[in-house]
């Protein structure tokens, strides 16, 4: 297919600006959808307030008079006839328009109306009059040097030249069934909407197309899994597992026992496990995964546990190592920052089977890593990994059982769609003796209260987390708290009584690990952090979580952060400091259940926060929105299932293309 540089009007400079917007291909360009539409509706002079915003069309009535000022500034004045009367127009710095504004030319003026002087100070002049109803104008994400107008021109030129070549991802029978317009027409409409009805229909069609490909992929992966569902079956001694469980410092909850049972059944069975373990923060998923790994090891296989951050991987490593200390088994930690020599050693021992348990980050699924007999792979906080990453290991020729853990409770209906290819185990019950985490929303002006609440806990030898959105003070967001600034404030407030330190994502891993270790050992009492600690970190003696600028975070994130405390038997509290958005934050005061919070978040913010879209590219959509478009999603799910099953279409180009697209990723 043609490239963007072949589009008339796009030179090297525009090309690099387009690349900056993530636009690499013609398809990217024509699917650079407007993020908003401005509705230009003809205003009426008499009905517009003084200094009010107005959009009005008409004809230029007098030759524009141009005045030039110092520093290259200029101003143009002319008379303008509109359907609701004659009005003066003034516009700054548009001398270049003078030749186009001939008397009698139809234009549309957008600006502010000074009623007494009967003058519109225009912010914009568009050539051409409005149609009798209204004009809908696409607004694009732009970048400096590339205006909305430029983008619109490039997109339209690309559509004109190559519109026929833009691939269609909906099978023709479904285009017919839903009476959709063709792809090129739909694209033309979203970029040049003639009216709302047509625009809505075109958007719906493009959303459907996106969700259809997505669900096709999910369904395809599900089917593939079923087809190659031959897994490992193994003998596992029940008595040995029970002995291991007896050795723990606590008793498992009923939900944990059930989860272990389901997983061990899966391990024993000849089919391949593909299971999601869902449980709220602090519900104790980790121990379940450790037991699963232990069971797998008893049967003579290697286990790998993959965590999204090094801090978390290290924590899991330390905990499991402790549990294994009286066993003959060998456990190692492998992350991006493992020294090269050690890495080589680990690779060697994974290959020759000397290591039974390996814990790490993405480093575990790099190409260099080979296993002797990988039997079980567990991914913690699985929503942070994409669908593709998940299949990565399988492609390496291993047939391990797979367990995903997620603390991000996804409303059940969505889970069924998105994780439609998995079995799900829920852990609902929290470990015994846990008290609810009292949550308070406080204003900035109540900082004294906040400090007192912190002090009351610190006095009892408890520890405190403090969260801020920024690392350092930032000129651009002066009103936001930073980790460094809070450290100074806390030091001022608590003098030398307590050790205060900071941790954030920009620190070297070794430094982070050291700080985390010191916090675990209670050498640090107040740990100030960005959201790097969001995921999974466990320090039972920490009883207080203070989150500054809490309004900056989604409820699910706040819930995850709150879940860092309340992990021991002492009462815990979470303080949300914010002057704005308090109504939303107050939901946190009342609700402890992560599932309900996720529903609320879903309603308020859509899926973004929920699925951690930043991390999993395959959950981002260009035009569809899982929250709003659930109905379309269900339809796309149904259709794509039916289409996948339909043998007659197996030789169709489209089906081949859709499948190739999945395998390519």
How buried is residue 296: exposed, middle or buried, by Cβ count under 10 Å (0-12/13-18/19+)?
Answer: buried
- Whichever of 308 and 431 has its CB closer to ligand ADP, that residue is 431
- Least distance between Mg ion and beta carbon 163 (Å): 49
188 close to 163: Cβ distance less than 8 angstroms = yes
- Least distance between Mg ion and beta carbon 380 (Å): 6
Query: Which DSSP state fits 456?
Result: H
Exactly one of 567, 584, 607, 637 binds ligand ADP (CB under 6 A); that residue is: 567
Exactly one of 193, 279, 554, 566 binds ligand ADP (CB under 6 A); that residue is: 279
- Whichever of 564 and 584 has its CB closer to ligand ADP, that residue is 564
Exactly one of 41, 67, 250, 477 binds ligand ADP (CB under 6 A); that residue is: 250
- Whichever of 256 and 417 has its CB closer to ligand ADP, that residue is 256
The 3-state DSSP class for residue 388 equals helix
- Whichever of 305 and 503 has its CB closer to Mg ion, that residue is 305
- The site partner of 287 among ligand ADP, Mg ion, none (C-beta below 5 to 8 Å per kind) is ligand ADP
- The site partner of 486 among Mg ion, ligand ADP, none (C-beta below 5 to 8 Å per kind) is none
- Whichever of 439 and 482 has its CB closer to ligand ADP, that residue is 439
| CA torsion through residues 355, 358, 363, 367, sign | positive
Neighbours of 259 (CB within 10 A): 28
- Whichever of 538 and 581 has its CB closer to Mg ion, that residue is 538
Distance CA 573, CA 438 (A): 5
310 close to 361: Cβ distance less than 8 angstroms = yes
**Tokens representing residue 170 in the block:** 């909906």
- Least distance between ligand ADP and beta carbon 643 (Å): 38
Q: Return the residue nearest ligand ADP (CB atom).
A: 284
List Cβ neighbours of 281 (8 Å cut-off, separation of 6 or more).
407, 559, 560, 562, 563, 564, 594
450, 431, 429: which is closest to 441 by C-alpha? 450
| CA torsion through residues 115, 120, 126, 129, sign | positive
Query: Which DSSP state fits 337?
Result: T
- The site partner of 252 among Mg ion, ligand ADP, none (C-beta below 5 to 8 Å per kind) is ligand ADP
- Whichever of 171 and 563 has its CB closer to Mg ion, that residue is 563
Is residue 173 near ligand ADP by the rule CB under 6 A? Answer: no
- Whichever of 381 and 601 has its CB closer to ligand ADP, that residue is 381
Is residue 253 near ligand ADP by the rule CB under 6 A? Answer: yes
331 close to 356: Cβ distance less than 8 angstroms = yes
- Least distance between ligand ADP and beta carbon 245 (Å): 10
Site for Mg ion in 505-564 (CB under 5 A): 536
Phi and psi at residue 356, in whole multiples of 5°? Answer: -95, -35
The contacts found for 555-558 with CB under 8 angstroms, 24 or more apart, are 555/584, 555/587, 555/588, 555/597, 555/598, 555/600, 555/601, 555/604, 555/605, 555/609, 556/408, 556/594, 556/597, 556/598, 556/601, 556/609, 556/610, 557/531, 557/609, 558/585, 558/588
- The site partner of 284 among Mg ion, ligand ADP, none (C-beta below 5 to 8 Å per kind) is ligand ADP
- Least distance between Mg ion and beta carbon 341 (Å): 31
Exactly one of 407, 437, 466, 520 binds ligand ADP (CB under 6 A); that residue is: 407
- The site partner of 281 among Mg ion, ligand ADP, none (C-beta below 5 to 8 Å per kind) is ligand ADP
Site for ligand ADP in 531-560 (CB under 6 A): 536, 538, 540
349 close to 330: Cβ distance less than 8 angstroms = yes
The DSSP bridge partners found for residue 515 are none
Distance CA 25, CA 651 (A): 27
536, 517, 535, 570: which is closest to 527 by C-alpha? 517
Q: Residues 18-37: x/- map of binding to ligand ADP (CB under 6 A)? A: --------------------
Q: Return the residue nearest Mg ion (CB atom).
A: 536
Site for ligand ADP in 65-104 (CB under 6 A): none
Question: How many residues lie near ligand ADP (CB under 6 A)?
Answer: 20
List residues near Mg ion by CB under 5 A: 536
List residues near ligand ADP by CB under 6 A: 250-253, 256, 279, 281-287, 407, 431-432, 536, 538, 540, 567
């Amino acid at each position: 297919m043609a490239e963007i540089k072949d589009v008339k009007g796009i030179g090297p400079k525009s090309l690099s600006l387009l690349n900056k917007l993530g636009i690499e291909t013609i398809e990217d360009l024509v699917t650079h959808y407007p993020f908003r539409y401005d509705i230009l509706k003809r205003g009426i002079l008499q009905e517009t307030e003084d200094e009010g915003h107005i959009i009005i069309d008409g004809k230029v009535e007098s030759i524009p008079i141009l005045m030039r000022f110092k520093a290259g500034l200029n101003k143009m004045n002319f008379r303008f006839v509109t359907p609701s009367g004659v009005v003066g127009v003034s516009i700054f710095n548009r001398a270049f328009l003078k030749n186009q504004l001939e008397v009698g030319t139809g234009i549309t003026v957008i600006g502010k109306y000074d009623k007494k002087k009967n003058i519109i100070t225009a912010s914009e002049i568009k050539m051409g009059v409005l149609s009798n109803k209204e004009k809908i104008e696409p607004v694009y994400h732009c970048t400096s040097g590339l205006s909305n107008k430029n983008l619109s021109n490039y997109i339209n030129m690309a559509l004109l030249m190559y519109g026929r070549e833009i691939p269609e991802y909906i099978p023709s029978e479904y285009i017919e069934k839903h009476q959709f317009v063709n792809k090129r027409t739909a694209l033309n409409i979203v970029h040049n909407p003639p009216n709302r009805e047509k625009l809505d229909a075109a958007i719906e069609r493009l959303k459907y197309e996106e969700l259809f490909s997505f669900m096709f992929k999910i369904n395809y992966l599900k089917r593939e899994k079923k087809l190659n569902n031959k897994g490992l079956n193994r003998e596992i001694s029940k008595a040995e597992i029970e002995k291991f469980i007896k050795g723990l410092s606590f008793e498992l909850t009923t939900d944990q026992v059930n989860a272990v049972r389901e997983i061990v059944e899966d391990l024993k069975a000849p089919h391949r496990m593909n299971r999601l373990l869902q449980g709220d923060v602090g519900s104790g998923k980790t121990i379940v995964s450790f037991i699963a790994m232990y069971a797998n090891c008893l049967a003579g296989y290697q286990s790998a546990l993959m965590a999204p951050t090094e801090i978390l991987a290290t924590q899991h490593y330390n905990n499991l190592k402790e549990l294994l200390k009286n066993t003959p088994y060998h456990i190692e930690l492998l992350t991006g920052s493992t020294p090269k020599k050690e890495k080589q050693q680990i690779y060697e021992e994974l290959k020759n089977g000397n290591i039974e348990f390996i814990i790490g980050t993405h480093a575990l699924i790099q190409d260099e890593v080979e296993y002797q007999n990988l039997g079980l792979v567990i991914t913690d906080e699985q929503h942070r990994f994409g669908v593709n990453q998940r299949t990565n290991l399988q492609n390496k020729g291993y047939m391990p059982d797979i367990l995903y853990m997620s603390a991000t409770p996804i409303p059940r209906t969505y889970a069924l769609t998105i994780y439609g290819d998995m079995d799900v185990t829920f852990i609902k019950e929290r470990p015994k003796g846990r008290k609810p985490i009292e949550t308070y929303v406080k204003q900035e002006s109540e900082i004294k209260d906040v400090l007192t609440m912190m002090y009351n806990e610190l006095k009892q030898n408890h520890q405190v987390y403090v969260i801020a959105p920024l690392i350092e003070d930032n000129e651009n967001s002066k009103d936001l708290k930073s980790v460094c600034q809070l450290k100074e404030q806390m030091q001022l407030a608590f003098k030398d009584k307590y050790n205060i330190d900071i941790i954030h994502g920009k620190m070297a891993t070794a430094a982070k690990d050291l700080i985390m270790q010191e916090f675990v050992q209670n050498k640090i009492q107040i740990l100030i952090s960005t959201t790097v600690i969001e995921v999974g970190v466990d320090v039972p003696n920490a009883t207080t979580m203070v989150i500054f600028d809490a309004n900056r975070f989604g409820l699910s994130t706040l819930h995850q952060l709150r879940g860092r405390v309340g992990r021991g038997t002492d009462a815990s509290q979470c303080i949300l400091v914010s002057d704005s958005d308090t109504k939303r934050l107050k939901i946190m005061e009342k609700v402890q259940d992560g599932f309900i919070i996720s529903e609320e978040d879903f309603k308020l913010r859509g899926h973004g926060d929920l699925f951690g879209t930043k991390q999993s590219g395959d959950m981002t959509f260009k035009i569809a929105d899982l929250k709003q478009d659930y109905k379309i999603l269900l339809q796309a799910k149904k259709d794509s299932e039916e289409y996948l099953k339909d043998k007659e279409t197996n030789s169709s180009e489209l089906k081949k293309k859709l499948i190739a697209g999945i395998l390519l990723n």
